[in-house]
């Protein structure tokens, strides 16, 4: 029930907020293995990159929006441990960020986010699942 309420509250925010298509690599620490973001950019998609949308939620938080129609089942399993369609609403699934990650200055400018708040800290970030997409809300920090 809590996840449904969060999803309903986020819908208007996502619709009205500043958004940017971002290609991310979720192979963890230094892109050599692990969990979490290791690279993010807006310019090009390489072999290990996944297309997402980053949306500004507040002055110190952004949402990473993962559209299940755009992300392969293999990538969904790499991100969440299972295909998004296999995850039940009652499960407490988390996006694991195994090391601190610094967002690029260009991306922060495009999202109209304070460039001093560029750090996604190591930790667990809850997934919120909607019909065709998955959201991960990151709190941004100073280094």
| pTM metric for this prediction | 0.81
Domain containing 69: what range?
2-141
Is 34 in contact with 27 (CB distance < 8 Å)? yes
- Tell me what the mean pLDDT of segment 3-18 comes to: 51
Q: 113 with 57: CB under 8 angstroms?
A: no
How far apart (Å, rounded) are the C-alpha atoms in residues 40 and 104?
Answer: 8
Domains identified in the chain, total number: 1
Residues 69-92: tens digit of each pLDDT: 889 998 888 888 888 888 876 678
């Amino acid at each position: 029930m809590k996840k449904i309420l969060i999803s309903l509250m986020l819908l208007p925010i996502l619709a009205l907020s500043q958004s940017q298509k971002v290609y991310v690599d979720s192979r963890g620490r230094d892109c050599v293995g692990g969990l979490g973001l290791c690279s993010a950019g807006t310019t090009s998609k390489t072999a290990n990159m996944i297309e997402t949308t980053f949306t500004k939620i507040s002055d110190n938080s952004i949402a990473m929006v993962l559209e299940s129609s755009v992300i392969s089942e293999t990538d969904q399993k790499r991100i969440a441990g299972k295909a998004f369609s296999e995850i039940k609403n009652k499960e407490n699934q988390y996006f694991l960020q195994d090391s601190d990650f610094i967002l690029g200055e260009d991306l922060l400018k495009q999202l109209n986010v304070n460039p001093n708040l560029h750090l996604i800290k190591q930790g667990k970030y809850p997934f919120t699942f909607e019909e065709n997409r998955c959201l991960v809300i990151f709190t941004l920090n100073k280094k």
